[in-house]
Amino acid sequence: MIYLFLANGFEEVEALAPLDILRRAGQEIVTVGVSGRTITGSHGIPVVCDRTAEEIAGRLPDVVILPGGMPGTKNLGASSIVCNTVRSVFERGGLVCAICAAPSVLGSLGVLQDRKATCFPGFEQALLGADVSADSVVRDDNVITAKGAGVALEFGFAITAALCGEQKATSLRESMQCK
């Protein structure tokens, strides 16, 4: 099970591109609204989530994904359910993924300590304990981070490769006409 957390002010492309790719890959992914069932992105696009944070409290997925955007990232970081879930998934060895400003949430939780990571330019100091990379998408063991909306498809393919293998990710990339 994968939880994709959405908070008001999330970056739509960073959430919906990986969501689409993972569903094409046959993964069970649930969108989770931090402050209710309908969450509005930073560009005014409302998304009706599969579950609310309260509905999933205490249930741990195998994978958690945090999209960036402002103030979405701040809203994710302010949610005890999001933070507790991320911390628990990470400690169990599950896959933890964040893009754009959202790796700053991982930094504040200690998830990036001694790991290579990337983020949207200007948030590097929030990647506490990380070896900050200039790469667009970075995987270090069970943590995947990415720079921003322009690499949201690559972020989705990296998560797919981690879960389903590189061959599946390559097949999807080709079928979607991505180079």
Active site residues: 100
DSSP characters over the chain: -EEEEE-TT--HHHHHHHHHHHHHTT--EEEEETTSSEEE-TTS-EEE-SEEHHHHTT---SEEEE---TTHHHHHHT-HHHHHHHHHHHHTT-EEEEETTTHHHHHHTTTTTT-EE--STT-GGGSTT-EE--SSEEEETTEEEE--GGGHHHHHHHHHHHHH-HHHHHHHHHHTT--
